[in-house]
């Protein structure tokens, strides 16, 4: 099998997340940190591999393939990986509250444009965003294979 035919990320279905409102009550995640250089991830792949190994070893499920990135600074982002149960030897956490999401497609250089659009979307719905997460739905290789590079912005609202 050649490299282009390999798939490590499931195909993303945008309609399930585009312009949606939802509520989480103690949704389980494993949290880890990614080093960034001016917001560009440096060790993202290694962190994902490390988390995936822990989740697999624990027999936990991450079938949603939900990887939320919270950009803390130019130098760090926190990564939240959705799981179905606690994972030993990992930082387990939960997220609760009301959220909205919107799907974008294209190059990451458009993130600033997407963020402004997302803020406008929330404002038009009468909401204020308290915290924002980015979900990069596929790795670059799978994005190339599928022909789409989707990013979901998830915002916790008031």
Sorted by where each starts, the structural domains of the chain and their CATH numbers stand as 20-157 (3.20.80.10)
Which of 73, 153, 68, 66 lies closest to 106, judged by CA? Answer: 153
The bridge status of strand 67-73 relative to strand 40-41 is: unpaired
Q: pLDDT of 36-63, one tens digit each?
A: 998 888 999 899 999 999 999 999 999 8
Give bridge partners of residue 89 from the DSSP assignment: none
Q: pLDDT of 75-95, one tens digit each?
A: 999 999 999 999 999 999 999
- Contact criterion met (CB below 8 Å) for 94 and 28: yes
Which of 84, 101, 98 lies closest to 27, judged by CA? Answer: 84
Q: pLDDT of 2-28, one tens digit each?
A: 454 556 889 999 999 999 999 999 999
Query: What are 57's two structure tokens?
Result: 């070893």
């Amino acid at each position: 099998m050649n490299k282009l035919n390999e798939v490590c990320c499931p195909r993303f279905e945008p309609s399930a997340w585009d312009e949606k409102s939802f509520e989480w009550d103690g949704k389980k995640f494993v949290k880890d940190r990614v080093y960034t250089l001016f917001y560009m991830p440096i060790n993202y792949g290694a962190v994902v591999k490390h988390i995936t190994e822990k989740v697999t070893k624990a027999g936990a499920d991450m079938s949603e393939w939900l990887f939320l990135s919270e950009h803390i600074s130019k130098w760090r982002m926190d990564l939240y990986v959705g799981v179905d149960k606690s994972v030993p030897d990992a930082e387990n956490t939960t997220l609760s509250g009301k959220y909205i999401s919107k799907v974008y497609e294209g190059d990451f250089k458009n993130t600033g444009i997407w963020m402004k659009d997302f803020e406008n979307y929330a404002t038009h719905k009468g909401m204020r965003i308290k915290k924002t997460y980015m979900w990069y739905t596929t790795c670059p290789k799978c994005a190339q294979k599928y022909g789409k590079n989707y990013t979901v912005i998830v915002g916790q609202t008031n």
